[in-house]
Amino acid sequence: MSAHIRNFCIIAHIDHGKSTLADRLLEHTGTVTLRAMKSQLLDDLALERERGITIKARAVTMRFNRGGKDYELNLIDTPGHVDFHYEVSRSLACCEGVLLLVDAFQGVEAQTVANAYAAMEHNLKIIPVINKIDLMHARPDEVAEEMMNSLGTDPDECVRVSAKTGVGVDELLDAIIEHIPPPTGDPDAPLQAMVFDSNYDDFRGAITYIRVMNGTVRKGQKIRFLRAGSNHDVIELGRFAPARESCEELKAGQVGYLICNIKSLGDVHIGDTVGLASAQGTTPLPGYSRPKRMVYCGLFPSDGQDFTELRDALERLAINDPSFEFEPETSEALGFGFRCGFLGLLHMEIVQQRLENESDVDLVQTAPNVTYEIINKRGETVSIRKPQDVPDPGDIEEFRQPIVRCSVIVPNDYIGAIMKLCQERRGIQKSQEYLGAQRAMLTYDIPLAEVVYDLHDKIKSCTKGYGTLDYEMVGYEPADLVRMDIMVNGNRVDALSVVCHRADADRRGRAVAKKLKAEIERHMFEVAVQAAIGSRVIARETVPAMRKNVTAKCYGGDITRKRKLLQKQKEGKKRMKAIGNVEISQKAFMAVLSDS
């Protein structure tokens, strides 16, 4: 029945050529003609093009005739970045095979290994593919060996291609048909379809991407999202070929989309199961979980008036991106704004960039922090999303932080530098393996807060850009953490509190106090800037008193010049925040927050 169907993903490290290969497959199967071919069709968000990273999984159906037989090949695109692990795993659950794509020059990278392991966990057939064999410095034989050492693939099975020139792509299509098993599943069984992606269309609402595992879904039926518990009518269903192509039904083994007049992506959960509303007791497919926000930061409009504008912009974003969340937050220093949760650092960067592109709001962003857990003296476990919520030291029984397992792949020359870096970041080494004669994979357990801080940048800079990092969550572990506050004349500045390791508190406290001192203008009285843990002061700086008279310079009688100066000072005041009796400019907060 479904013997002619093949469902597969391409997994690859960023820039190894996934989008280019997808383009070639579309072209060689005649799905898209060369003339109509816009390069890199699958990366359709403008921002993705800008950043060159596939953010959201997409799917496309290719029809292909080989040896007189018609085949239906469904290519499911997956994001390559660590932040989107869960989405990758849901896409893999919809496939029977993967193309494991590795650059013939760069070789195996950290994300390649992580994603290949994920494919193995899903028992998928792996076709190793070496891309960019046209490059002058291509070293396909060595890369095949690296793949064997790190991933256990057979060098003889590697398909060698150039996604750029098209060499080897026909052989790859043969390998897909020959080696990837067709889907199993009974079209007459009760409907079970996996939601593996969704996007938002301004006219049609949510478009839900599904893979039918069992049964058949038809236009006009009433379906049910089993985990979300909501019922909807199927208004349209179909396939992407690559444009939307509606049809009457999708059967077990097929991949396509559903449109049900759903107004927000928040109602569609990736990993959810679609069943028939009428069928009682349909079992949900395994592996569902809610996206976990690992990184938080505050976003504030730099001018208080933009608050509603910022809220509207955030709401628009959330409709399109269910893994992003936000809630209102008030900060004494920065005014009204929002606390926002992200899957990881890259996700945060993308959201921020979209906000800037799509609205005119000028943003202040507070330093990113991770979610901590505290067991208080009453034995309750409390989840902490912002430093201000950490209770006083006397109330804390145990302070816990998220730990991630980091895999770093580097050329052998840089092993020492990476070890030093990971140790400085409180990492605990778990293993060290050699992938070939030249490269090694180091595995460390490191606090997520240290990774979020700047680990990725540091790895790049101490390996001349050759090192790659991937991480996965291990869990929460107790640590000697403290909340460090910044006080100005005895008043706590909420936006500047941070959670850090006790051993780092002195150094960080001194640095912030010094920086803030430099940014505070002199007042009529002395201003004390202190860093403190609970009531214990760990650093102090003093801004000396000075009587400031801006018009003193205007010795002449030019009254207009005096007025101008006073006006300027008044405008400056609007951007001042009062901390107790001390006025601090927004610029000062931004300077301290930008790299504290």
Told to check if 15 binds ligand GTP by CB under 6 A, we report yes
Could you tell me whether strands 97-103 and 125-131 are parallel, antiparallel, or unpaired per DSSP bridges? parallel
Closest CB to ligand GTP among residues 11, 259: 11
Instruction: Classify each residue of 362-395 as buried b or exposed e, where b means 16 or more C-beta atoms within 10 Å of its C-beta.
Output: ebbbbbbbbbbbbeeeeeeeeebbbbbebeeeee
Question: Is position 18 an interface residue for ligand GTP (rule: CB under 6 A)?
Answer: yes
Our finding on whether 52 is near ligand GTP (CB under 6 A) is yes
Smallest separation, CB 54 to ligand GTP (Å): 4
Q: Which is nearer to ligand GTP, 53 or 207 (CB)?
A: 53
Residues 114-143 that bind ligand GTP (CB under 6 A): 131-132, 134-135
d(CA 249, CA 216): 7
**DSSP secondary structure letter of residue 31:** S
For the bound state, the minimum distance from the C-beta of residue 21 to ligand GTP, rounded and expressed in Å, comes to: 7
d(CA 210, CA 271): 10
How many other C-beta atoms are found inside a 10 Å radius of the C-beta of residue 527?
24
Q: Is 134 annotated as a binding residue?
A: yes
Q: With respect to ligand GTP, which residue has the nearer C-beta, 165 or 289?
A: 165
Q: What three-state secondary structure class fits 90?
A: helix
Q: How far is the CB of 18 from ligand GTP (least distance, A)?
A: 3
DSSP SS3 for 438: coil
Give the E-state strand segments of 435-479 in sequence order.
439-447, 468-478
Taking CB under 6 A as the rule, which mask of x and - marks residues 80-119 in contact with ligand GTP? x---------------------------------------
Q: Which stretch binds ligand GTP (CB under 6 A): 50-58, 188-196, 251-259, 405-413?
A: 50-58
91 vs 131 by CB, closer to ligand GTP? 131
Q: Is 528 helix (H, G, I), strand (E, B) or coil?
A: strand
Neighbouring C-beta atoms of residue 539, cutoff 10 Å: 20
Residue 41 or residue 176: which is nearer to ligand GTP going by CB? 41
Binding of ligand GTP by 12 (CB under 6 A): yes
Q: Which two tokens stand for residue 182?
A: 């067709």
Residue 15 annotated as binding? yes
Closer Cβ to ligand GTP, 80 or 253, answer by number: 80
CB of 39 to ligand GTP, least distance (A): 8
CB atoms within 10 A of CB 70: 9
Give kind and range of the element (H or E) at residue 97.
Answer: strand 97-103
- Residue 19 as a binder of ligand GTP (CB under 6 A): the answer is yes
Window 148-177: contact mask with ligand GTP (x via CB under 6 A) = --------------xxx-------------
Which has the closest alpha carbon to 538: 582, 593, 485?
Answer: 485
- The C-alpha angle with vertex 454 and arms to 450 and 455, in degrees rounded to 5, equals 70
Q: Residue 53 in 3-state DSSP?
A: coil
Consult the annotation and say whether 31 binds a ligand: no
Least Å distance between CB 269 and ligand GTP? 25
Q: Which is nearer to ligand GTP, 57 or 370 (CB)?
A: 57
Q: Which is nearer to ligand GTP, 169 or 543 (CB)?
A: 169
Q: 77 vs 267, which CB is nearer to ligand GTP?
A: 77
Helix or strand holding residue 77 (H, E): none
Q: Could you check whether the bond before residue 155 is cis, i.e. omega within 30 degrees of 0?
A: no
For residue 157, give the DSSP letter.
G
Residues across the chain: 596
Contact set for ligand GTP, span 369-388 (CB under 6 A)? none
- 3-state SS, one letter per residue, for 293-323: CCEEEEEEECCHHHHHHHHHHHHHHHHHCCC
Is residue 54 at the binding interface for ligand GTP, with CB under 6 A as the rule?
yes
Q: How far is the CB of 164 from ligand GTP (least distance, A)?
A: 3
How far is C-alpha 359 from the chain's CA centre? Answer: 21
- Closest distance between ligand GTP and the C-beta of residue 206, in Å? 24
Pairing relation of β-strands 249-251 and 125-131? unpaired
Q: Does 20 bind ligand GTP (CB under 6 A)?
A: yes
Residue 501 Cα distances to 401, 447, 450, 529, angstroms: 10, 10, 10, 21
Report in angstroms how near the CB of residue 6 gets to ligand GTP at its nearest. Answer: 21
Binding site residues, ligand GTP, CB under 6 A: 12, 14-20, 43, 52-54, 80, 131-132, 134-135, 162-164
- Residue stretches of the annotated binding site: 15-20, 131-134
- Residue stretches of the annotated binding site for GTP: 15-20, 131-134
